[in-house]
Structure 1
Amino acid sequence: MPNIQRSPPLNSSMKSSSRSESDLSTPTTSASCFTKNDTNITTRSKRLRMETCSPNASTSFASNTGDLRMDLLNMLSNWKEDQDRRLNEWKSSLDDTLSKLVSEVTHLKNECREMRKTNAEIEKGMEFINNIQEETSTKIKKIENYQKETTNTINKMESQIKNIQFHTRDSTIEIRNIPISNNEKFDNLLSILSTIGKTVEMTIDSRDIRDIYRLPGKPGVLRPIVAEFTCVNSRNELLTRVRKFNKEKLVPEKLNTQVIGLPGAKKPIYIEEHLGPAQRKLMFQTRQFAKKHNYSCWHSNARILLRMDASGKPIIIDSEKCLSDLEKKS
């Protein structure tokens, strides 16, 4: 260990030289600044502090300190009152806002409850409507199927009626544009038919005719004459001879009222098969279509036929749908 040297002991000269008395007002103490305790440790004693303030200054300072303390207390009291007032106002405002919120939330809950009830009723209504719709769809399908079956049945019946009408009219002809005479009777009409037969070089006897009559209609309208032959061959022979006669003649010389000796203005005479009401309507529509699209139109053996040109294949028209299909293709 290094050698540790102790501080040398203080002698009288050192004690006197280290002492300072210039700052002391009264030399009342003779104690040295440094002392040595029993353990040979040198310590420094504290210097006594003298009061520099007078009694009046102390009183004035205490008074000022009390006033400042009161001011601070007043400021704190005022600040506390202001904060309490603000807190109360904020609390009152918050209470009002919370009260409004509670009221609005309650109102919203009631509305939601009503909406849930309404939605439940709507769902029930929708379910009821869906059930009705399903039932209606099922009924509509049944009706559609029934309609298809009915349509097929009607088409079959119409076809059968056409066949029946054809067989009942297969020996019947229709003569148009013959003027109506006064007191027209069976013999008058039979005479006109016989004259037409002579004109086309065919003998028609009363025994060949089952019945002959003029169709009913509105007054003033030139109604056609219907003649029923006793056999189909006689009727077909007359139609063939009329077509041949018209084909060999010019337009002014074709079969007309003057050729058979009827009085009045000359009018062309048309002799055709006698068609039923439905076939007559379809024949009229077919003629309109033929004029519009430059087709040839005629009917034979109760069948209505169309042809584009002489070399084309005849088209059988048995319903309005055939004309509609041709219209779409044109």
Structure 2
Amino acid sequence: MNKSLSESNLNDQITAGEQNITPPNFVFTRAAKKRKEQDSPTNLMELPYSATENDFHAFVNEMRGMFNNLLAAQRQEFDNINPTLKSIQETNAKIEASIEYLHIENTELKKKIKNLEQQKKEDAKYIVSLEEKLENVQKGYRKANFEIKNVPKVEKETKEDLIKLTTCLSNTVGVNITKSDIKDIYRVRGRKENISNAPIVVEMASTLLKMDILKNCKAYNKRNTTKLCAKHLGCAVNKETPIYVSEQLTPKASRLYFLARDLVKSTSFTFCWTAYGNVYVRKDENSSIIAIINETQIQKLYNSD
């Protein structure tokens, strides 16, 4: 072939070649490979069926044995637990019976306590009633009595000496009494020994006469700058020792009188006095008179002031 072909000749040859050349075919084909005969389904179906069934039966028997062993173990465990459960049930039954018994006992005790509390209230009311009756009896016994306090004691003192002291006092305050007006007279024994100025109790024959002596003694102290003292009773020693004349109060009334005087000192109450064995307080001359009955009443007066 001539390498020096002209351009026109080259083009002519390309055109002629394009008309004669067949287009290439790009479709490729693969040769099918044969599968191995042992991989075909037909060969799988041809496996020995008897071997698979034996394995299955063996598996079933093994599982059955395992379940049987498990059941046997559970039965044994239940057999061991049953006595314990029975014991627990018996214990629970005893506990329930005990609880029921305690409940019944508790109910009975509550009833008894309630009855005792009610009885206590009734007893308290009865005791208060008895105390009031005893207080009234003691007041009645003391209604004609008065006390002379802080009188010096002489050696070998007799009732006659005490009567002379009392008559001398009555003459000083302007109430003339005689020996026959005095039912009894004595000096109270003190709680401590060797007390020389224990009170003198005078039991008069008349309550009115007693009230006259108390009234005149009070008036004498208001009227005179020199208050009643031992010399007004005719005492030869310790003449200037002050003496005090008052009603003979019961132990309860004495306690109330002491508390009532503290009430007057601490609050707006102004007056506190005794009459016929009773204790009275008053805020002022225009207020009402209050009879003191018990200590609770005094506490209420403190709170209300």
TM-score by length of 1: 0.63
Give CA deviations for 1:277-309 in whole Å, capped at 9, x if unaligned. Answer: 333333334444444446443221111122333
Specify which of 289, 297, 301 is matched with residue 314 of structure 1: 289
**Superposition pairs for residues 222-237 of structure 1, below 5 Å?**
222-237=197-212
Give CA deviations for 1:175-200 in whole Å, capped at 9, x if unaligned. Answer: 11111111111111111112221222
Larger radius of gyration between Structure 1 and Structure 2: 1
CA drift of 1:214 comes to: 0.6
Distance 1:150 1:129 in 2: 30
Q: Kindly provide the amino acid, as one letter, of the partner of residue 161 in structure 1.
A: L
CA drift of 1:101 comes to: 6.0
Q: Kindly provide the amino acid, as one letter, of the partner of residue 239 in structure 1.
A: L
CA distance 1:106–1:208, change in 2 (3 Å): same
Specify which of 266, 269, 276 is matched with residue 301 of structure 1: 276
Specify which of 255, 259, 277 is matched with residue 281 of structure 1: 255
Q: Kindly provide the amino acid, as one letter, of the partner of residue 115 in structure 1.
A: I
Corresponding residue of 2:25: none
Give CA deviations for 1:115-137 in whole Å, capped at 9, x if unaligned. Answer: 33233222222222222222222
The size of the alignment, in residue pairs, is 256
Secondary structure of the structure 1 residue equivalent to 2:122: helix
CA distance 1:129–1:206, change in 2 (3 Å): same
CA distance 1:118–1:209, change in 2 (3 Å): same
CA distance 1:328–1:255, change in 2 (3 Å): same
**Superposition pairs for residues 125-144 of structure 1, below 5 Å?**
125-144=98-117
**Structure 1 unmatched ranges of 5 or more:** 1-72
CA drift of 1:259 comes to: 4.6
Distance 1:179 1:310 in 2: 37
Contact 2:229 2:239 (C-alpha < 8 Å) held by counterparts: no
Distance 2:107 2:170 in 1: 69
Cα root mean square deviation, aligned: 3.7
TM-score by length of 2: 0.68
Alignment of 1:219 with 2:209, yes or no, is no
Q: Kindly provide the amino acid, as one letter, of the partner of residue 275 in structure 1.
A: L
Contact 2:281 2:292 (C-alpha < 8 Å) held by counterparts: yes
**Structure 2 unmatched ranges of 5 or more:** 1-47
CA distance 1:97–1:219, change in 2 (3 Å): farther
Identity %: 27
CA drift of 1:242 comes to: 1.2
Alignment of 1:146 with 2:119, yes or no, is yes
Distance 1:102 1:290 in 2: 92
CA drift of 1:161 comes to: 2.2
Distance 2:243 2:129 in 1: 36
Contact 2:181 2:204 (C-alpha < 8 Å) held by counterparts: yes
**Superposition pairs for residues 91-102 of structure 1, below 5 Å?**
none
Please, which moves more after superposition, 177-186 or 116-125? 116-125
Contact 2:165 2:234 (C-alpha < 8 Å) held by counterparts: no
CA distance 1:197–1:112, change in 2 (3 Å): same
Specify which of 133, 141, 144 is matched with residue 171 of structure 1: 144
CA distance 1:235–1:111, change in 2 (3 Å): same
Corresponding residue of 1:197: 170
Q: Kindly provide the amino acid, as one letter, of the partner of residue 280 in structure 2.
A: L
CA distance 1:116–1:310, change in 2 (3 Å): farther
CA distance 1:324–1:121, change in 2 (3 Å): farther
Specify which of 91, 94, 98 is matched with residue 121 of structure 1: 94
Please, which moves more after superposition, 225-234 or 102-111? 102-111
Distance 2:98 2:293 in 1: 51
- Greater relative CO (CA pairs within 8 A, separation 6+): 2
**Superposition pairs for residues 7-156 of structure 1, below 5 Å?**
109-156=82-129
Distance 1:304 1:106 in 2: 88
CA distance 1:197–1:114, change in 2 (3 Å): same
CA distance 1:112–1:227, change in 2 (3 Å): same
Give CA deviations for 1:44-69 in whole Å, capped at 9, x if unaligned. Answer: xxxxxxxxxxxxxxxxxxxxxxxxxx
CA distance 1:321–1:112, change in 2 (3 Å): farther
CA distance 1:103–1:246, change in 2 (3 Å): farther
Distance 1:196 1:107 in 2: 106
Distance 2:205 2:144 in 1: 7
Distance 1:258 1:232 in 2: 26
Corresponding residue of 2:26: none
CA distance 1:141–1:328, change in 2 (3 Å): farther
Secondary structure of the structure 1 residue equivalent to 2:230: coil
CA drift of 1:220 comes to: 2.5
Secondary structure of the structure 2 residue equivalent to 1:149: helix
Distance 1:98 1:328 in 2: 84
